Structure 1
Amino acid sequence: MSPEDWLADSAPAGEPRRVPSGCATGGILDQAGRPIPGQMIANLMAAMHERSNGLGGGFAGYGIYPEMAQCYALHVMYDRDDHRQPVEQLLGNTTFLVRSERIYTRPTRGIGLAPDMWRYFLQVPPSNLGTLSEEDYVVRLVMRINQELHGAWVVSCGKNLGVFKGVGYPEDIANFFRLDEYKAYQWVGHGRFPTNTVAWWGGAHPFSLLGWTVVHNGEISSYGINRRYVEMYGYKCTLKTDTEVLVYLVDLIIRRQRLPWQALYAILAPPFWEQIERMSHPEKRRLYTALRQVYGSAMANGPFSIIIGHPEGMIGLTDRAKLRPLVAARQGDLFLLASEEAAIRAVLPQPESVWAPKAGFPAEGRLAAAAVMQP
């Protein structure tokens, strides 16, 4: 069954398939590493129901597999059961497969025909690595599955991390995947309102690679050049949605090229040239000029607000004109991001502080260095 078939069977009756603007984003982090029930992020996203239209919802949970924390957890969707065997054969030949199991779901009104969902906990034998790092080995494996093995898509592959997503409203996807049975120290959520890409299960947000997850509201009009740029480094965009390229840019710039986070912000949402020219410090002016010149093909053009999740925290960032909304809040060790303040107050009625991050400037929450989630 093709992605278009899933769209046809899963789209809510009577609702348009392509509509302009929208999307809901949200995230919750306990900086002390304490477990957060999955129902909390489901409630936050449900408060923004009108921002999505039932054509995509999803969640990422960090710390949900403490008993398998040293294994890469691959969440894989199959459009037919007979497409599972080639993937499992590949995993068996290239990794040490610790455990495999179906991701169990519950019948949920509003969720139509769904692909078969499996998760695999695996480790990489050092003898298989050659000159590759363990992370690069896993990335190549994921790219191979997504590009070469028909009817199979890896939706997440990080350690102690899982992505649950599909075609439906976020609160329905949460119920379908039984999110109320999971706990995580960090959750990221998304409700989709597609603009110019098809709605199918693999195209829902979050997009994930290794420990990175990205949810996005807006449109990456620079997708074409961004895609060609990451493909030079071996990434393959196969999931039919512009947001996919963002998670590959994060992996490339932060993990592989080892640039600091501030450089990533300046690359994705750089100051305008006239702002750079007016910078009073020559070193700062030279730095931003160099980043724009060297990483021009990595700039995310167009209206966007994004939330980037990673094992040590969560970041919210908007385009340099802030054409899409983003609100941040704190209360004690809790750090929250959302498209609307009302969604934050739905789960945290009296936050200590609430603010709207400036255009092109990040709002960041970091896991405390000594924080360890308790099962």
Structure 2
Amino acid sequence: MELSDLKAFSNPYRDDKVYNSCAIFGVMDVSRRCFSGDRVFAAMENMFERGNGLGAGFAVYGLYPEMPDHYALHVMFTSPQGRPATEEFLTSHFRVDRSEPIPTRKTPGISGEPQVWRYFLKPLFDAETVLEEEDFVVDKVLQLNTSIADSFAFSCGKNMGVFKGVGYPEQIAHFYRLEEYQGYIWTAHSRFPTNSQAWWGGAHPFCLINWSVVHNGEISSYGANRAFLETLGYRCTLFTDTEVMAYAADLLMRRQGFSPDAFAKVVAPPFWDEIDSMDAEQRALHAALRIAYGGLLMNGPFAVVIANQDQMIALTDRIRLRPLTVATRDNMFYVSSEEASIRLVVPEADAIWTPRGGVPVVSRIGLLPKPNPDTDNVGAGAVPARGGNTDEA
């Protein structure tokens, strides 16, 4: 499918060129206890004005406990011809143990929707390591998205899934019947696109091999970032800047083993005058990262929530040109574009704070983050915990 064909999948309001801010939200139970998406839906409804119906979506981790070792592949077909070609491709590279349409229902305001299916797969490839197997899956997903017409794989991972489309969050949640699912990590997005046309594949979250990204902002360095990633085998096919953030997360944190802190040093590095004032060891580290990964420096305002099965990461650009607030309560970690949405669903947070620009806040299985009172803006009405993130580059 070509970009010129996307009008059939655009929002009926036809207001494709508008400027404002998207809404992002995430919640994680670090004990892996699964819960419904009720509080996520409520938080997104509270931020209704941040979107305009041109895209929304959710990522859920822990929703397929009956098949935890299979890769769950979600695919949208924009014509009847897409599905047979896709299934022929999949069966030549994977053992397909289950395939079915993703349950949906008619929803007011949703029109022109593609056909959506899910496949539970195991590679027909005797990999020696997990990394080698994952690289095989990534290669085939990217190949599917570039070689088969009218077919887009928009979610791929174990015991996780992305559900997205053109509409408001409450419409997308209703369309995909998300009240029927439970997960221990939920992320959500409401879109207000600026420089790309609205279509189902371009909604957030973006996903590749367990990693998902929701993003508010505009990555003005998209062209340079895309060129860098394409030299390493990634192929950008979804017509929006956020795709490069998802692929950068896959490259740096999955393939090359970077910590979230080191990842942030690449995509949201300090300014050179800050680097010059660091001690010799840190100065050398930052200089080396800028030399090796300069093509992944993400210019422009952004706030992102990045997740996989084991962690959820909140990060803004280095001067915080997009809002982001985080909070904890018991075993739960919350991230939101607006503090009001957090206080709606968790009125008595143990801690609530605004992270420093360019510094990731990371929750992991078994470990909640804590605010650093020396650098983070700790909100009123919550008890600030001492400490902070301790990731090492």
TM tier, smaller: over 0.9
5+ unaligned residues in a row in structure 2: which ranges?
368-393
In the other structure, the counterpart of 1:352 is 350
Aligned to 1:307: 305
- 1:146 partner SS: helix
The one-letter code sitting in structure 2 at the alignment partner of 1:11 is: N
* Structure-2 residue corresponding to 1:189: 188
Q: Do structure 1's residue 237 and structure 2's residue 229 form an aligned pair?
A: no
Aligned counterparts of 1:74 and 1:9: Cα–Cα separation in 2: 21
> What SS does the corresponding residue of 2:145 show, helix, strand or coil?
helix
Alpha-carbon separation, structure 2, partners of 1:347 and 1:109: 26
The Cα shift of 1:364 comes to: 1.4
Match of 1:333 among 310, 331, 334: 331
Unmatched runs of 5 consecutive residues or more in structure 1: 370-375
Q: Which amino acid aligns with 2:298?
A: A
Residue in structure 1 matching 2:285, options 284, 287, 303: 287
Q: Distance in 2 between matches of 1:36 and 1:179?
A: 12
2:197 maps to 1:176: no
> 1:275, CA displacement in angstroms?
0.3
**How far apart are residue 21 of structure 1 and its match?**
2.6
Q: Distance in 1 between matches of 2:127 and 2:61?
A: 27
How much has 1:109 moved relative to structure 2?
1.1
Q: 2:365 maps to what in 1?
A: 367
Aligned residue in 2 for 1:257: 256
Tell me the residue number matched to 2:134.
135
Partner of 2:209: 210
Alpha-carbon distance between aligned partners in 2 of 1:131 and 1:119, rounded to the nearest angstrom: 22
Q: CA deviation at 1:3?
A: 6.0
Residue by residue over 1:278-317, the C-alpha shift from the partner in whole angstroms, topping out at 9 and shown as x without a partner, is 11x2101111111112111111111000110111110110
C-alpha change, 1:40 and 1:17, in structure 2 (3 Å) is same
Residue 118 of structure 2 aligns with an amino acid whose one-letter code is R
Alpha-carbon distance between aligned partners in 1 of 2:9 and 2:220, rounded to the nearest angstrom: 29
Q: Which amino acid aligns with 1:74?
A: L
Q: What secondary structure does 2:18 align onto? A: coil
User: Residue 108 of structure 1 corresponds to which residue in structure 2?
Assistant: 107
TM-score, with normalisation over the residues of structure 2? 0.90
The answer to whether the 8 A contact 1:4-1:198 is kept is no
- Counterpart of 1:199? 198
Query: Secondary structure in 2 aligned to 1:344?
Result: helix
* SS state at 1:301 partner: coil
1:156 paired with 2:155, answer: yes
In the superposition, relative to structure 1, how do residues 296 and 44 fare at CA in structure 2: closer, same or farther (>3 Å)?
Answer: same
Q: Distance in 2 between matches of 1:32 and 1:120?
A: 28
Whole-angstrom CA distance in 1 between matches of 2:32 and 2:237: 34
Q: Any conservation in 2 of the 1:10–1:168 contact (CA below 8 Å)?
A: no
For the residue of structure 1 that corresponds to 2:162, the secondary structure is strand
Question: How has the CA–CA distance of structure 1 residues 180 and 130 changed in structure 2, closer, same or farther, with 3 Å as cutoff?
Answer: closer
**Structure 1 runs (4+) greater than 2 angstroms displaced:** 1-10, 125-132
2:56 and 2:165 in contact (8 A); partners too: yes
Secondary structure of 1:300's counterpart equals coil
Residue in 2 that maps onto 1:297 = 295
Q: Deviations over 1:118-140 (max 9, x none)?
A: 00000013348899811011011
Question: Which residue identity does 1:297 align to in structure 2?
Answer: G
Give 1:300's aligned amino acid: M
In structure 1, give the amino acid aligned to 2:11.
A
Q: CA deviation at 1:346?
A: 2.1
Counterparts of 1:118 and 1:173 in 2: how far apart (Å)?
16
**Distance of 1:6 and 1:65 partners within structure 2:** 31
Is the Cα–Cα contact under 8 Å of residues 9 and 198 in structure 2 kept in the other structure? no
Partner of 1:125: 124
Which one-letter code corresponds to 1:154 in the other structure?
A: A
Asked if 1:80 is matched to 2:79, the reply is: yes
Cα deviations by residue, 1:139-171 (Å, 9 ceiling, x for unpaired): 111011100000000001100010000000111
Q: How far off its partner does 1:9 sit?
A: 5.6
- Does the 8 A contact of 2:9 with 2:113 survive in 1? no
The answer for the alignment partner of 1:373 in structure 2 is none
User: Which residue identity does 1:213 align to in structure 2?
Assistant: S
Contact kept in structure 1, 2:10 and 2:198, CA below 8 Å: no
In structure 1, C-alpha distance between the alignment counterparts of 2:294 and 2:272, rounded to whole Å: 12
Q: Distance in 2 between matches of 1:3 and 1:102?
A: 25
- Provide the aligned C-alpha RMSD in A: 1.8
Q: Who is 1:24 aligned against? A: 23
| Conservation of the 8 A alpha-carbon contact between 1:3 and 1:200 | no
Q: Give a deviation string over 1:144-199, Cα, whole Å, max 9, x none.
A: 11000000000011000100000001111011111100000000100000001110
Relative to 1, partners in 2 of residues 1:102 and 1:2: Cα closer, same or farther, differing over 3 Å? Answer: farther
Identity of aligned residues (%): 49
Q: Distance in 1 between matches of 2:178 and 2:302?
A: 27
SS at 1:295's partner residue? helix
Partners of 1:38 and 1:183 within 8 A in 2: yes
Structure 1 distance, partners of 2:74, 2:29, is 24
Match of residue 372 from structure 1 = none
Structure possessing the higher relative contact order (Cα contacts under 8 Å, 6 or more residues apart): 1
Instruction: Give the one of 313, 321, 324 matched to 1:323.
Output: 321
